[in-house]
Chain A
Amino acid sequence: MADKLSISEYANQEVRYGVIPMLSKERLYSFWDMAFVTGAYAIATWCYFHGAELSEYLGFRQALFSTFGAICAFIALIAIIGVISSRYGIDHWIYSRAVFGYKGVMVVFLVSALSSWGWTAINAQMYGSSMLKVANATPLSLSEERWFEPIALTCVFFGWAIAMKGPTAVRYVTRIMTLALLAVGAIVVALLLIKASPSEIWNAQAVSPAEPGEVRMQYMLATEWNIAFALSWFTVIGALTRLAKSERAAMWGIWWGYAFIMAVFILIGAAVSVVVVGQGAEPTGDVTDYLLELGGPGLGLISLIFVGVANITTQAVELYAMSVSTKILRPSWSYRWVCTFWALTVAGLVMWGGVWEYYGTFLAIMGVIAGPVVTLVILDYFVVRRQRVSVTHLYKKGVYQYSGGFNVVAFLAFAAGVVAFLAVYDPIANEARSTVFMYTTATGASVIGTTVAYLILWRIPPLQRYLLKDRDAVGETREAARELVGESLPAGEPAGS
């Protein structure tokens, strides 16, 4: 495609499909677009599954406090990263070159991306499972062995087809889907209220209540899952918020879409489970069974279809954002080829089928990585660099090269975060290792560990000079900016901030 384009047309194309900074006038997404896109990304079958998983250990009231509390609080960190991307029109992975170094960011990105694709494969498999259940509730009788994979792969295919059309197509599709999904959510809530009174729902107990001495531990474990669930999608955020028309749209669009809407749907999943099982349904742990039980073959099926289809928009947003982000590895790669490569990777993981078995492990890996990475990006920009960065040097191997392309200080702080995480929690056995877990959770501990380590290292003078090698570059930029714009730049206004 690029062969037929002029140089300027190619450059313009790469603004939307690559790493080139997006100027203010080129932005596409308003607050509502941001809320719809992130909301459509968040709402998928996994919200209901996650809610059902929580309901195994938490009653409705506890699930409400844990889900809304943890998700809406911790998404603030993601929203702040969204502000950085929106400010400069760059993916947060580009900014992360200043944090981890030019090569270091590639390592962090690849580890995060591989974990993300595990999630995306699970997303497609959940779609396959839901749709198979829908088909088998009709006169069609499809064998799981034969049809599960092909149906799951259609989710990848449709998501890929939308992602290939770019951010405008993603915006239109998610607008329609988010509104439809909110309507479905309202229908499910109405069905719940028909089946049970508000006080019955409020007092509904967990499917497998914990022993009296274990209640708080179960609550904190569930809170840890919620935090890991919320932070795990930091990988895509910068590719979306660079499209935001204002920093405010980026910040609050993420908060309402990612945090609030997602928390609502997780809670609906938890409520459906506790109410349906509380009324005598078999506790299968499969929320699709519960939805069918709740709404019967009519409304239950419609809910399943819509929530299943929502997985396609999740695939589309993920494929678009991750394909754009992948180009930090090599900016001249074709977006179409990268998107197709990742879609085939997800398809391969779906056909392998083993990812779903390790759902908890994927969640844990994301928890281990996400806490320190998110913390480092925020600390680095707002505390260490005081919101002054050389955007020019983010695009050339200059001051952000550090030691052979790696910021050793950031990686030390990252390691401190991982150690703090593992010191309080065993992610494989899903067990707390320390009573500290009861007060911080594992991701919370890793955020604290990373913060303390990075701030201590930053205060050591030689390391401070190491981290702030870009000060001269920022100063040069300021001078150059003054020459460019003359009097229009206030004397006290730092360029690049």
Chain B
Amino acid sequence: MDQYDKQETITEACLQRSKTIESGPEECPARVQGSDWWALLVVTIVFLAMTFLGYLG
């Protein structure tokens, strides 16, 4: 395969798989749940508060 063929193969595979991914959730991994987002938010706030506590001494 020369560079042109490689490029064409990759482009075609990318477009085909993009359509597959867009076609339905079964081709995508399980989504993050709302509880995970909340947990990440809480953890972030706690650690930001920790930084601020260190600032206060």
Given A73-B47, A477-B22, A481-B23, A246 contacting B30 (CB threshold 8 A): yes
Residue among B5, B43, B52, B53 with max Cβ neighbours from chain A (10 Å): B43
On whether the beta carbons of B47 and A23 are closer than 8 Å, the reply is no
The A94-134 residues at the B interface (CB cut-off 8 A) are none
Query: A481 is contacted by which of B7, B15, B24, B51 (Cβ under 8 Å)?
Result: B24
Contact stretch, chosen from A12-20, A140-148, A174-182: A12-20
The A223-249 residues at the B interface (CB cut-off 8 A) are 223, 244-249
The B31-49 residues at the A interface (CB cut-off 8 A) are 31-33, 36, 40, 43-44, 47-49
- Write out the residue numbers on chain B whose beta carbons fall within 8 Å of the beta carbon of A72: 43-44, 47, 50
Query: B51 is contacted by which of A70, A79, A396 (Cβ under 8 Å)?
Result: A70
Given A21-B17, A69-B50, A331 contacting B7 (CB threshold 8 A): yes
Query: B29 is contacted by which of A27, A70, A332, A392 (Cβ under 8 Å)?
Result: A27
Given A2-B6, A248-B32, A248-B36, A21 contacting B54 (CB threshold 8 A): no
The A69-89 residues at the B interface (CB cut-off 8 A) are 69-70, 72-73, 76, 79-80, 83, 86-89
A247 to B11, CA, bound (A): 26
Query: B10 is contacted by which of A5, A76, A331, A496 (Cβ under 8 Å)?
Result: A331
A-B contact pairs, 29 of them (CB 8 A): A7-B1, A7-B5, A10-B9, A11-B12, A11-B13, A15-B13, A20-B14, A20-B17, A21-B14, A69-B47, A73-B47, A79-B40, A86-B29, A87-B29, A88-B21, A88-B28, A89-B17, A223-B51, A249-B29, A251-B40, A331-B7, A331-B10, A392-B18, A477-B22, A480-B22, A481-B23, A485-B23, A488-B24, A489-B23
10 nearest A-B pairs in the assembled complex, by CB-CB distance: A65-B54, A69-B51, A69-B50, A73-B47, A332-B6, A391-B18, A395-B14, A72-B47, A392-B18, A11-B13
A positions within 8 Å CB-CB of B? 2-3, 5, 7, 10-11, 14-15, 18-21, 23-24, 27, 61-62, 64-66, 68-70, 72-73, 76, 79-80, 83, 86-89, 215-216, 219-220, 223, 244-249, 251-252, 255, 331-332, 390-392, 394-396, 477, 480-481, 484-485, 488-489, 493, 495-496
